[in-house]
Amino acid sequence: MKHPYNHLGGGANSVAPGYSKGSALGAEIIGTFVLVYTVFSATDPKRSARDSHVPVLAPLPIGFAVFMVHLATIPITGTGINPARSFGAAVIFNNAKVWDDHWIFWVGPFVGAAAAAAYHQYILRAAAIKALGSFRSNPTN
C-alpha cells in the first residue's frame, strides 16, 4: 500500500489532471493578483489617512482574499501563490512530476504580483500621470 504522503503528492503543487498548463498558469496569475491587490488596497497609506480604522481592519480583507483564492485554485494547482512555499514542498517531496510544471508556480505569482502592483500604482492611484507632470518644463514666455 502506498503511503498517504506519496499518494497525496507530499504537499507539493502540481497541475491537477484535466487542466492544461495554461489554465494552471492563469489560475496562479489571477490568484496572486487578487491577493496582492487586496494587500495593497487594505494597507494603502493614503487610505489609512482617510480612514483611521483601516490598519486595524486590514487583516480581515487580506484573510478573506486568501480564503477565496484557495477555494478557487486548490482544485486546479493546489494554490501556489507563493513561490517559496511551492519550492520548499517540491524540494522535500522531490518527485520528477512535481518539477515538470514547477515553473508555473514561479512565473504565475511574479506576473500576478507585478500586474497588481502596476494596476494599483498606475491605474488606481494614477501615479504615472502625476510623475509625468514633474518632467514637464515650465514655459517662461
Is the pLDDT confidence value at 21 over 80?
yes
pLDDT of residue 24: 97
Distance CA(100)–CA(24), nearest Å, equals 13
Virtual CA dihedral for 67, 71, 74, 75, nearest 10 degrees?
A: 180
pLDDT of residue 58: 83
Virtual CA dihedral for 40, 30, 110, 88, nearest 10 degrees?
A: 100
**CATH tag for 18-133 (out of 3.40.109.10, 3.40.50.620, 1.20.1080.10, 3.40.50.720):** 1.20.1080.10
| pLDDT confidence band for 3 (50 / 70 / 90) | confident
Kindly state the DSSP code that residue 58 receives in the 8-state scheme: T
pLDDT of residue 7: 66
- 44: cell is 494603502
| pLDDT confidence band for 140 (50 / 70 / 90) | low
Distances (CA, A) of 59 to 14, 52, 62, 130: 28, 15, 5, 30
pLDDT of residue 109: 97
Q: What is the mean predicted confidence (pLDDT) over 50-55? A: 61
Secondary structure class of 7 (helix, strand, coil): helix
The residue type found at 79 is T
Is the pLDDT confidence value at 134 over 70?
no
**Which tens digits make up the pLDDT trace of 23-50?**
999 999 999 999 999 999 888 877 655 5
Collect all residues with Cβ–Cβ distance below 8 Å to 43 and sequence separation of at least 6.
54, 55, 58
**Which tens digits make up the pLDDT trace of 74-128?**
999 999 999 999 999 999 888 888 899 999 999 999 999 999 999 998 887 765 4
